[in-house]
């Protein structure tokens, strides 16, 4: 798989294709179980893929948890893009969503802790 520079001035190299991880997990009632997510991820990595797309809302956060476990052995090799504004709860409320500092902190994005 070929790589390209992410943006014009970042110098960050990523694979030309990104792996969307919305189907990693079964929180929505359908999707890939952890073993199947591992097979999908491994095939992508074997093909030279380095760029992953995730969000705390995919599978109510289960996707991000699985993705984190999948890349943990070689974290510096992968580029992870994520979104956090919508929240990961089945029925998020106003105090758990939005592009404010506590949203990524709550998801563990800045502090490494949940809560």
β-pairing, 13-15 vs 3-5, is antiparallel
- Residue 58 a catalytic site member: yes
How crowded is residue 105: how many other Cβ atoms within 10 Å of its Cβ? 16
Which listed residue (17, 51, 58, 60) is catalytic?
58
Distance CA 25, CA 30 (A): 8
What residues are annotated to the active site? 58
């Amino acid at each position: 798989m070929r790589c390209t520079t992410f943006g014009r001035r970042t110098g960050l190299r990523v694979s030309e294709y990104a792996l969307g991880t919305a189907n990693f997990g079964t929180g929505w009632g359908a999707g890939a179980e952890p073993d199947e997510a591992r097979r999908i991820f491994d095939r992508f990595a074997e093909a030279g893929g380095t760029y992953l797309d995730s969000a705390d809302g995919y599978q109510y956060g289960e996707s991000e948890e699985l993705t984190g476990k999948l890349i943990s052995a070689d974290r510096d090799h992968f580029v992870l893009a994520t979104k956090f504004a919508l929240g990961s709860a089945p029925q998020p409320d106003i105090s758990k969503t939005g592009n404010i500092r506590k949203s990524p902190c709550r998801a563990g994005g800045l502090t490494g802790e949940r809560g």
